[in-house]
Amino acid sequence: MTTETPTRTAIVTGAARGIGAGVAERLAADGMAVAVLDLEESACRKVVDRITAAGGRGLAVGVDVADEDAVAAAVEQIAIELGDPTVLVNNAGIIRDNLLFKMTVDDWDAVMSVHLRGSFLMTRTVQGYMTRTGWGRIVNLSSISALGNRGQANYAAAKAGVQGFTKTLAFELGRYGVTANAIAPGFVETEMTMATAERMGMPFDDFKAAVVRDIPVGRGGLPADIAHAVSFFVSEGAGYVSGQVLYVAGGPKA
């Protein structure tokens, strides 16, 4: 006799484009109802449209993940419209790259606010649904920049902080059936990396070629590569994997 797996409700932040959109669509294909979150609800609708066109359930929600009240209201809306959320992917992020001596306090604070405060607020709010259910999956997006990267003192510090946050969640929430893991992507072809190339004054193809030369598998990553890793971490069968940082970067990282 088999027990049918309940339909899970997932939340993916920063999901209007890029990695977040790829993750949201993959989790919907996996059979989850998915809340697609980003700053503007209108920007999320195209992702939800693709989810529903493929036969899934999606909900577009506009929210600033660094705003405590807005996060509380958004999660309550999701619970009412899609069901209690027990899968959370903290993907929302921004870059404000500059060398340390040129970096402003606003550049520092903005990156910390979205990556760390946002992940904290979302997780603190959603974990209540998970612990009451006795099942939950949290995946936080870090980066290979957590190992250090020129011109990214703020981003590198935030992404390293995400890893420490993840490991602490694993300790605190494991007894309630909740796992917490982090994924640290390497170079992934998204609008954000295209903007980086533009800021450096390089055609994207030239920028990509320069980066790919140092990637053992000989290609750049795609949002689908990250989504596949997320799909594993949030699966029913991954309940004995927690507190891990997986570098999805086309080769080994320290």
Active site residues: 155
Query: Contacts for 230-236 with beta carbons within 8 Å, 24 or more apart?
Result: 230/23, 230/26, 230/27, 230/89, 230/139, 230/183, 231/26, 231/27, 231/30, 233/137, 233/139, 233/179, 233/181, 233/183, 234/8, 234/10, 234/27, 234/87, 234/89, 234/137, 234/139, 235/30, 235/137, 236/5
Task: Please state, in angstroms and rounded to a whole number, the distance separating the CA atoms of residues 48 and 43.
Answer: 10
| Contacts of 49 by beta carbon, 8 Å cutoff, 6+ apart | none
Phi, psi angle pair for 214, to nearest 5°: -100, 10
- Of 99, 91, 93, the C-alpha closest to 35 is 91
Please give the Cα distance from 248 to 223 (Å, whole number): 11
